[in-house]
Structure 1
Amino acid sequence: MRSLSLATVFAAASGFIVIWLASFTVDAASYAEFQAYWGLFFALTGAIDGVMQETTRAVADSRETGRTSKASPWRLGAVVALVAAVVAGVGGALGMDRIMADPPAAATGLLAAGLASYTLQAVLSGVLSGLKLWGRYATLVALDSGVRLLAVVAAWALGLGGGALLWVTVIGTVSWLVVLGTDPHARERLSTPVDVDARRLTRRALSAMVATGASAALITGFPVFVQASFKDAGAAAHAVGSGEGASVTVAGIILAVTLTRAPILVPLQRFQSALIVRFVAHRATLYRALGTPLAATLALGVVGALAAWALGPWILEVAFGKEELMVPGGVLAILTFASAFTGCLVITGAATLAVERHGSYVAGWVTASVVAFAVLFTPLALVPAVCTALVAGPTAGAAVHLVALGRRPAHHPATGTMT
C-alpha cells in the first residue's frame, strides 16, 4: 500500500505540473480550450471508473468466497469501450466546436480513442486491485501520470502548440498495454474470475458508473461548461464582466477554479472511506455526526478564502506570469469558499452511502450538476456566473442528501435489514 500511496501523490503532483507547464505552451485562449478538454476527458473517465470499482469488488469477492462465473470484466470493458468511443464521436461531432476552435475533428478522434483505451485500463486497474497486487497497480498509476508529464515537457520544450496538448491529455491511457505486456502472468490477468454472472456484473457496473459520473461531472467537468458557456468571450477581458471581475478571462477563471478547489477537495476525496465508516458507526445520530465535518469544512473554507485573498494573486503572478491568467484576490477568495460547499456535498454524499441510500446519493450529485450548469447559461457575466454556480449547485445537491437522510429507513422484518 505504501507504493500505491506514493504513486497517488506522484499522480496528483504530475497533474498540477502538466496544467502549469501547459500555460507556457499556448496563448490564453488556447489554454482555456486545453483546460476544458482536459476537464471533459477526466470527467468522462470519472464515469468509466465505475467499471473499475465493480471489477475490483467482483474480483475481490470471488477471491474471498471462491464463487466464480463465466462472466469476464474484459468482455464488459470491451463493450463499454466501444460504446464510449461511439458516444464521444457523436457528441464531439455535435458539440466539440463549442470547446475547441481548431481542430475539433482531431480533438473528437483523440477523445474517442482515449476513452476506449481508458476503459480497458480501468478493467486492469480493477483486476489488479481485486487481487491486491498493489505494487503492479501503483506502477500503472505512476506510469499513466509519468507518460503524460513527459509528453507535456516535450510539448513545451519543442513549442508544439495546442494540438500537442490534446495528445498530452489522452496519452497516459496506453499505460495498461505496457503493464500488461510486461506482466509475467498476463494470461492469468485476462482470465481472472468474478463472483457474479454477466448480467449482474453489467448492471452493477452501470450503477457504479452513474454514481461516479455524477460526481465527476461537477468536480472535473465544470471547466467544460464554463468554456462552452463563455467561449465567445475568448481571452478578451473586457467581454466577461464588470467591477472586480472585469479583468478575468475564461482561461483565468478556469485555472482559478482548478487551483482553489484542490486544498479542500483532494483531502476530502481521499478520506471518503473514513467518513463512511464514521457515519455507519453513528447511524442513530447521523445529523449530529455530520455537524463536525461540515463545520470544519466551512471553517477551512473561510481560512482558505482569507489566504487566497491575501496571497492568491501573488502566487498566480509567480507561478504563471501571464496577465491573461491573473485573477483578483476577492474572486479567488469567493472561489475558495465556494469549494467548501462542494466539500460539504462530498460529506453529505458519504453519509447517504453509509446508510445505503445509493439512489439519493446519485440524485444529490445530479441535482448539484444540473443547477450549477444551468446557472452558467443564464445572462450573468463570467465571474458572477461561476461563483454563483459553485455555491448554488452543491447547496442544492447537499439539500437533496439531507432530506433523504431525514427519511425513516424501511425495516424488513424477515431479514432485519434496513434500506
Structure 2
Amino acid sequence: MAVLHRATGPVTDGASPVPALGPVTRGSVVRVGIATLISAVCGYLVLYLAARDLEPAGFSVFAVFWGAFGLLAGAANGLLQESTREVREVAQAGAARYPTGPRIRPIRVAVLVGLASAATVAVTAPLWSSHVFVESRWLSVGLLAAGIAGFCVHATLLGVLAGVNRWSQYGALIVGDAIGRVAVAITTFLVGWALVGYLWATVAGSMAWLILLLASPASRAAARLLTPGTVGTFLRGATHSIAAAGASAILVMGFPVLLKATSADLGAAGGVVILAVTLTRAPLLVPLTAMQGNLIAYFVDQREARLRALLMPTLVVIGLGALAVAIAGLAGPWLLTAAFGPQYQASGTLLAWLTAAAIAIALLTLTGAAAVAAALHRAYAAGWVGATLASTLLLLLPLDLATRTVVALMCGPLVGIGVHLVALRKGAPSVSV
C-alpha cells in the first residue's frame, strides 16, 4: 500500500520512490509552458481547419459541440484541482500526520466518476440533446459520453502528477491530448469527413492518459498513490471544485453553449462571434488552464501569504493581456480574414474588447486557484457560480450579439473575483482530511 513520507515523498507498491517534494520551480513552469504552447498551437490548428472546411453556420454547429465537451471537461478539472491539493497537502505534512485510517486511490475514484458521468449524459440526453445539437445528434451524445468518461481519469492523473512534481509527465499528458485532437482534425480535412470528423477530433485526446500509463513507469507509480480518507470525503471536497470548475467551463470552453441558450438563432453571425471569442481568449486562458496544477501547487506552498503570492501572476496576466489587447485591436481583423477567409469579419474594436474580457476571466482563474489551495471550496464555487450567473443575466440584455457578449464576459467575472478575494482575506479554515 502506498504510504507518504516527508523525506522521500510518496512511495508506491513495489515501485521506486517518487522524487522528494520541493517547491514549484521555474524549470517545472517552463516544461509545462512548452507543453501548453504545443497544446495551444494544436488547438488553434483544429479551429483553423474546422473554420476553413466548414461555412460559418457549420462552424457554429461544430463550436457548440466543442463547447459542450469543453464544458464537461472543464467541470472534470475539479478532479485535477482536488487531487493536486490532496496529494500535495499529504506529501508536505508527511506520513506521521496520517498514521492510521482509511485511504483511497484518486485514480480509482476518477474511473467511477467517469463512468457515472457518461451514464448521466446518455440517460438525460433525450431531455436536452435536440436543443443543443443541430446535426449528428446521437453521434454527438455518444462521443460526449465517451469523451467525458476518459477525461475524468485524464484530469485526475494530471492532478496526482502535479501533486508530486512529476511535471515532465504532466506536460506529456497535455501534449498527448492535443496531438490526438489535431491528428484526427488533419485527417478529416484531407479525407473530407466534414462535420462528423471534427466531432471525433474534439474528443480524440481523452484517452491520452492510457498511453501515458502504458509508456511511463513514473506515471504508473504516481497513479498508485493513496490519500487519507474515504471515497465520500474525497468526493465531498471534489464536489465544490467540480461545481466551480463547471461554472468556469461555462464561461471558458462552454461559452458557445451559453450563447446558443440565450439567443434565438446564432447563424453565421454567431459563428463569427464564437470564433472571435475563442481566438482572443486562448493566448491567456489556454496556458492558465493547462497550468492549474502549477498554480495550485504554488499557492499551497505559499499558505502563509496567498494574497501576496497573487501579486506576481496578476501582474504577468495584466501585462501580457495589455499586449494582446493592442495586437487584437490593430492586427486582429486582418489576421482573422487572412487565416479563416473573408466570411469571418470582425472589427478591431470588438476584438480588443473581447481580449480585455479574457483578462478578467484570467484573473478570476488565478483567484480561484488560490482559493482551492486554501481549501476554501465553498468560496471557490460561489465565486465561479456567481460570475457565471452574472454573465448569463447580462447576455439577456436587449443588445446586439457582439455588445452583450463583451458586457457579459467583462463584468460577470468581477463578481467572482470579489468573492474569492474576500474569502482569501479572511483566511483558510483548518483542513481535516
What TM-score range do you get, normalising by the shorter chain?
A: 0.7 to 0.9
The partner residue of 2:411 within 384, 392, 402 is 392
Q: Give 1:33's aligned residue.
A: 61
Go from structure 1 to structure 2 and tell me whether the alpha carbon gap of 1:292 and 1:25 turns closer, same or farther (over 3 Å shift): same
| C-alpha distance in 2 between matches for 1:73 and 1:30 | 39
Q: Give 1:141's aligned residue.
A: 174
Q: Give 1:75's aligned residue.
A: 108
- Compare relative contact order (CA 8 Å, sep 6+) and give the higher one, 1 or 2: 2
SS at match of 1:101: coil
Q: Give 2:234's aligned residue.
A: 201
| C-alpha distance in 1 between matches for 2:103 and 2:362 | 41
Percent identity, aligned pairs only? 36
| C-alpha distance in 2 between matches for 1:295 and 1:183 | 36
Go from structure 1 to structure 2 and tell me whether the alpha carbon gap of 1:70 and 1:346 turns closer, same or farther (over 3 Å shift): closer
The answer (yes or no) to whether the contact 1:59–1:194 under 8 Å persists in 2 is yes
Scaled by the length of structure 2, what TM-score is found? Answer: 0.78
The answer (yes or no) to whether the contact 2:260–2:266 under 8 Å persists in 1 is no
| C-alpha distance in 1 between matches for 2:73 and 2:195 | 21
In the TM superposition, what is the alpha-carbon distance from 1:80 to its structure 2 partner?
0.7
SS at match of 1:230: coil
Q: Give 1:162's aligned residue.
A: 195
Go from structure 1 to structure 2 and tell me whether the alpha carbon gap of 1:387 and 1:115 turns closer, same or farther (over 3 Å shift): same
The partner residue of 2:364 within 345, 350, 366 is 345
Structure 1 residues 170-208: Cα deviation after superposition (integer angstroms, max 9, x where no partner): 111122222333456887666443333333222222233
Q: Give 2:24's aligned residue.
A: none
Go from structure 1 to structure 2 and tell me whether the alpha carbon gap of 1:78 and 1:299 turns closer, same or farther (over 3 Å shift): closer
| C-alpha distance in 2 between matches for 1:116 and 1:384 | 36
Q: Give 2:5's aligned residue.
A: none
| C-alpha distance in 2 between matches for 1:49 and 1:10 | 20
Go from structure 1 to structure 2 and tell me whether the alpha carbon gap of 1:275 and 1:383 turns closer, same or farther (over 3 Å shift): farther
Go from structure 1 to structure 2 and tell me whether the alpha carbon gap of 1:18 and 1:233 turns closer, same or farther (over 3 Å shift): closer
SS at match of 1:173: coil
| C-alpha distance in 1 between matches for 2:109 and 2:301 | 34
Structure 1 residues 342-395: Cα deviation after superposition (integer angstroms, max 9, x where no partner): 234334445655766442232121111011122223443311221121122112
Scaled by the length of structure 1, what TM-score is found? Answer: 0.81
User: What is the identity, as a one-letter code, of the residue corresponding to 2:253?
Assistant: T
SS at match of 1:24: helix
Q: Give 1:252's aligned residue.
A: 272
The answer (yes or no) to whether the contact 1:280–1:355 under 8 Å persists in 2 is yes
Q: Which runs of 5+ in 1 are unaligned?
A: 236-248
The answer (yes or no) to whether the contact 1:32–1:227 under 8 Å persists in 2 is no
SS at match of 1:172: coil
| C-alpha distance in 2 between matches for 1:291 and 1:78 | 37
Q: Give 2:144's aligned residue.
A: 111
| C-alpha distance in 2 between matches for 1:157 and 1:77 | 36
User: What is the identity, as a one-letter code, of the residue corresponding to 1:19?
Assistant: L
In the TM superposition, what is the alpha-carbon distance from 1:76 to its structure 2 partner?
1.5
The answer (yes or no) to whether the contact 1:45–1:118 under 8 Å persists in 2 is yes
Is 1:13 matched with 2:41?
A: yes
In the TM superposition, what is the alpha-carbon distance from 1:121 to its structure 2 partner?
2.5
Go from structure 1 to structure 2 and tell me whether the alpha carbon gap of 1:129 and 1:231 turns closer, same or farther (over 3 Å shift): same
Q: Give 1:239's aligned residue.
A: none
User: What is the identity, as a one-letter code, of the residue corresponding to 1:83?
Assistant: A
Structure 1 residues 138-175: Cα deviation after superposition (integer angstroms, max 9, x where no partner): 33322221111111000111111101111000111122
| C-alpha distance in 2 between matches for 1:143 and 1:268 | 18
Q: Give 2:329's aligned residue.
A: 309
Q: Which runs of 5+ in 2 are unaligned?
A: 1-27
